[in-house]
Structure 1
Amino acid sequence: MYAADYHHHTNHSFDSKAEMEDVCASAVNKGFNEICFTEHFSVNPNVPTYGHMDFERYFSEIERCREEFEGRLTIKAGIELCEPHLMKAEYEEVLRDKDLDFILGSVHNIEETKLRKVLQEKEREAAYRAYFEEMYALVEGADIDVLAHLDLMKRYDGTAGEKYAFRDYEALLRKILRKAVDRGIGIEINTSGLSNQKVGEAFPTMDILKLYKEVGGEILTIGSDSHKPETTGDYWESAVSMAKQAGFKRLYTFTKRDPQPYDI
């Protein structure tokens, strides 16, 4: 089966020290056919993802790794945009001439406040609702290809042994997913939660995956969200099983932002 990890960070992201070459070598050793690097990027100077990305260095390293791993690994140039529905003109100006294959959109901050702090400052239900409302604003207004880790808020939820109740937010999640389908935006199965003992499950839940399928969703990627070479592609098989259980028969890769399906 074709295997593609579509969410990975290297030292081009502020929170990773991984060398791109080492990540590619790890992907090859683990039997992956394709990897897409999705470095953090923001145009907002008040959030942590601002100011680290050097696009010239990034694309140069992508090309070097493509040459080194030619015939062994397909390497795509992606980006993870932080709150791309905000400051849209600034994002458009920066990205206009960038030769990107894939754009993830994510919410890590609400009104420039980190999600962890949002959970500390708000009642639990209100914090989740604020997060999902921000995700709707993102999917409604941002120029992206795929929504990243749709229920990321649970990573920061300190309520031991509990998960948010899907039914409490089902209407809002349905609204998010319908808008994604209407705009041709996909979602990902992000496996990083499976390696986090407190989370213990992927982002998003099976309930959300099934709802996405129900409202007509097709575009689905799998990403490890790894920041280290050794965790490249972690839990990929588990994510494939989730996709199949939710009724999906295909996953997607992207080339120059054009979605391309492959069977699972």
Structure 2
Amino acid sequence: MLPPDNHVHSEFSWDTGPRASLLRACAHAVDIGLPAVAFTEHLDFTVWDAADRATAQGLKDRHPANQLPIDVDLYAETIWEARERYPQLRVWSGVEAGEPHLFGASVAAHLQAAPVDRVLGSLHSLPVDGRLMGVNRLLHAPGIDVVATMRRYLTEMVAMIEHSDVFQVLAHCDFPRRYWPGGRDEYPEAVFEEEYRAVFRALAGSGRALEVNTTSPLWSVELLRWYREEGGDAVSFGSDGHQPHLVGQRFELAVDVVEQAGFRPGRDRFDFWRR
């Protein structure tokens, strides 16, 4: 029995392309037997509120600034249509809030105007000389110390957990692994054990869930055990699929990894997995 896919993008995310479709993603979820799917569209800011922490830190812009706002009215209509068309599937609305600790006022204003069922917290970028820079670019910048950059990333993730309580799930804690110089297989996971454990302690202390993201290289059982040893209680599964056929990708393998780390299905089919 597969778990819900708590991290899916559709045509309402700025980076999905013309073949993305919320309705076709639902059809695929039904075909493969998922009980639920959450459409967590990208909520990123290129312009932000004066009350945001980003302003207090002196951040001026984001590079590159390709992010676009969510069409919340059409999104809400499409979520409603999906629920009508696929009653056998639980369809959740959601956002993936990028750097929510830096944009607290902006995120709050968006959610007040357009409430959702599920909020993910993600760290895609780091401040560099007054600008937010994508980690994928930073890791390939000339002369960059990739190990130091990864340590900085995980330290910033602790700050994100401590300074934002808006999200329920910490998404793709291993995001930079996707862009690691030399390839994903060269990523030295064990080198960052101390930093990962600090993230997991902060997350566990906040009572929120950790995502196993199946677009990223699958986490090791050892990494999930660090989370469990630091008090982590809940695991969420997310495909991070940006196209319909990617919904629920590699979930059977991900379930096996999570089970080996000591987590089991929760109270019902729609719950997070628990220790």
Among candidates 127, 130, 134, match of residue 156 of structure 2: 134
2:50 match = none
Equivalent residues of 1:105, 1:146 under 8 A apart: yes
- Contact map agreement 2:100 2:121 (CA 8 A) in 1: yes
Q: What is the DSSP-based 3-state SS (H/G/I as helix, E as strand, rest coil) of the residue aligned with 1:96? A: helix
1:90 to 98, 103, 106: 106
Instruction: List per-residue Cα deviations over 1:145-181 (Å, max 9, x = no partner).
Output: 1111111111111224643333322222111111111
Does 2:73 align with 1:67?
no
- Tell me the matched-pair count: 251
Give percent identity, aligned residues only.
30
- 2:46 alignment counterpart: 44
After superposition, the Cα gap between the structure-2 partners of 1:97 and 1:52, relative to the gap in structure 1 and judged at 3 Å, is closer
Deviations 1:33-89 (A, max 9, x none): 11111111113334446333111211111011101111x211001110111110211
1:197 is aligned to none
**1:9 matches 2:24:** no
Once the two structures are superposed, residues 116-138 of structure 1 have per-residue CA deviations (whole angstroms, 9 ceiling, x without a partner) of 22112321111111211121111
Deviation at 1:99, TM superposition (A): 2.5
Pairwise CA distance, 1:10: 0.5
- Taking structure 1 as the reference length, the TM-score comes to 0.88
Question: Residues of 2 paired with 1:250 and 1:173: CA distance?
Answer: 24
User: Which residue matches 1:211?
Assistant: 226
More divergent stretch after superposition (43-52 vs 145-154): 43-52
SS in 2 for 1:181: helix
Partner of 2:147: 125
- Structure 2 residues without counterparts, runs of 5 or longer: 48-60
Equivalent residues of 1:85, 1:137 under 8 A apart: yes
- Change beyond 3 A, Cα 1:138–1:75: same
After superposition, the C-alpha distances for 1:206-241 in whole angstroms (9 at most, x for unaligned) are: 332111111121111111111111121110111110
Pick closer, same or farther for the CA change 1:252–1:113 going to 2, 3 Å: farther
Mapping of residues 1-264 of structure 1, within 5 Å: 1-16=1-16, 17=18, 18-45=20-47, 46-47=61-62, 48=65, 50-70=67-87, 72-111=88-127, 112-121=132-141, 122-142=144-164, 143-160=166-183, 162-193=185-216, 201-202=217-218, 204-251=219-266, 260-261=271-272
- Give the Cα–Cα distance (whole angstroms) in 1 for the partners of residues 85 and 73 of structure 2: 19
Structure 1 unmatched runs, 5+: 194-200
Indicate how the Cα distance of structure 1 residues 262 and 123 shifts in structure 2: closer, same or farther if over 3 A, else same: closer
TM-score, normalised to structure 2, is 0.84
Q: In the TM superposition, what is the alpha-carbon distance from 1:253 to its structure 2 partner?
A: 8.6
